[in-house]
């Protein structure tokens, strides 16, 4: 008799896995034994104070920076500077996107599509659907040098999604977006993760956004993971079951006594 599970598909590999990752810049240890996972179909928020190591972790996940120790696996494979094919499965939006501003939005997106090897068939329709959704129709043939920050952010988001990545790495992706566009992007990310199985690593300083869209949170401070889990689990760990995420974050990163600091500075 065959097993009822004999025809089941194997579980997809983790979208991202850090295992004891270290990175040093001269005398500064940016990451110290960092370990966390992003499952396929999961949105994981990466939170931490400025200088905590978030950007370094993201650059290592993208294969831009080499770790000094530990293991990093993306979609089940090791990643490095030469992992060209694997990188075609990644999408990235940096905190401050650098676009080729001497191009129009349409030219820039067509250039990215060429770099990712997207077929011509259906390419223009896919671009147009994003332009419509993010209210950039009518601006696609304008030079991006004249775009506002929010418009540039929208183009960067389209560029990250155009090739249907399996892992999205987003660093403050809602910067400069108007409320309507921000809401649309949040719903789109939820759909990509929970319906299409895309893994998403999402860094933000806006804790309300993290709480609203992330399935789990990883909090880093001084290059180490100080806590990870659901918001409910983190509240319990901090001993603040009825508190907002801001109080939990401050407690876990050792910066809860802000009142004393403000009082000292005000004298």
- Other Cβ atoms less than 10 A from the Cβ of 2: the count is 6
| pTM of the model as a whole | 0.88
pLDDT one-digit tens code per residue, 40-93: 999 999 999 888 999 999 999 999 999 999 999 999 999 877 788 898 899 999
Closest CA to 118 of 128, 109, 105, 107: 109
Q: Does the pLDDT value for residue 138 go beyond 80? A: yes
**Model pLDDT for residues 24-41, shown as the tens digit of each residue:** 998 899 999 999 999 999
Structure-token pair, residue 84: 């060209």
Q: Tokens representing 18?
A: 């850090």
From 38, 77, 76, 80, select the one nearest 63 (Cα to Cα): 80
User: Which pLDDT value is given to residue 267?
Assistant: 46
Residue 251, pLDDT score: 82
The residues, any chain, with a CB within 8 Å of residue 25's CB and separated by 6 or more, are none
Q: How far apart are the C-alpha atoms of 251 and 267, rounded to whole Å?
A: 25
Give the pLDDT band of residue 255 (cuts 50, 70, 90): low
Q: 160: which residues sit within 8 A by CB, 6+ positions away?
A: 91, 92, 93, 168, 170
Top-tier CATH class for 16-89+166-265 = alpha beta
pLDDT tens, 201-245? 999 888 888 888 999 999 999 999 999 998 888 888 878 777 778
- pLDDT band (50, 70, 90) for residue 7: low
Q: At what angle do helices 245-252 and 231-238 cross, to 10 degrees?
A: 50
Mean pLDDT of the chain: 88
HSE at residue 12, side-chain half, CA atoms within 13 A, is 16
Q: What Å distances lie between residue 67 and 13, 178, 197, CA to CA?
A: 21, 36, 27
Distance CA 94, CA 59 (A): 10
> From CA 115, how far away is CA 267, in angstroms rounded?
57
Can you give the residue ranges of every domain in the chain?
16-89+166-265, 98-164
By C-alpha distance, which of 115, 95, 221 is closest to 170? 95
Which residue spans within the chain are E strands per DSSP? 16-25, 28-38, 43-47, 69-74, 77-78, 90-93, 167-171, 199-203, 216-221, 224-229
In Å, how far are 23, 82, 198 from 58, measured between CA atoms? 12, 17, 16
In this structure, the number of other CB atoms found within 10 A of the CB of residue 34 comes to 24
């Amino acid at each position: 008799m065959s097993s009822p599970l004999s025809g089941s598909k194997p579980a997809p590999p983790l979208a991202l896995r850090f295992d004891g990752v270290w990175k040093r810049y001269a005398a500064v240890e940016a990451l110290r034994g960092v370990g966390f996972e992003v499952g396929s179909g999961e949105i994981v928020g990466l939170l931490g104070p400025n200088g905590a190591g978030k950007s370094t972790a993201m650059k290592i996940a993208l294969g831009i920076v080499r770790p000094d120790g530990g293991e990093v696996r993306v979609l089940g494979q090791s990643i490095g500077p030469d992992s060209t094919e694997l990188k075609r499965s990644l999408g990235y939006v940096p905190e401050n996107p650098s676009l080729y501003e001497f191009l129009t939005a349409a030219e820039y997106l067509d250039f990215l599509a060429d770099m990712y090897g997207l077929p011509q068939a259906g390419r223009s329709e896919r671009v147009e659907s994003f332009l419509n959704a993010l209210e950039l129709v009518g601006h696609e043939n304008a030079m991006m040098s004249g775009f506002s920050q929010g418009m540039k952010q929208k183009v960067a988001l389209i560029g990250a999604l155009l090739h249907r990545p399996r892992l999205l790495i987003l660093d403050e992706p809602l910067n400069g977006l108007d409320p309507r566009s921000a809401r649309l992007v949040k719903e789109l990310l939820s759909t990509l993760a929970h319906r299409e199985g895309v893994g998403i690593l999402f860094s933000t300083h806006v804790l309300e956004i993290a709480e609203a869209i992330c399935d789990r949170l990883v909090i880093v401070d001084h290059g180490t993971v100080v806590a990870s889990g659901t918001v409910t689990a983190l509240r319990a760990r901090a001993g603040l079951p009825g508190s907002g995420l801001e109080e939990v974050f401050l407690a876990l990163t050792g910066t809860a006594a802000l009142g004393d600091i403000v009082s000292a500075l005000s004298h």
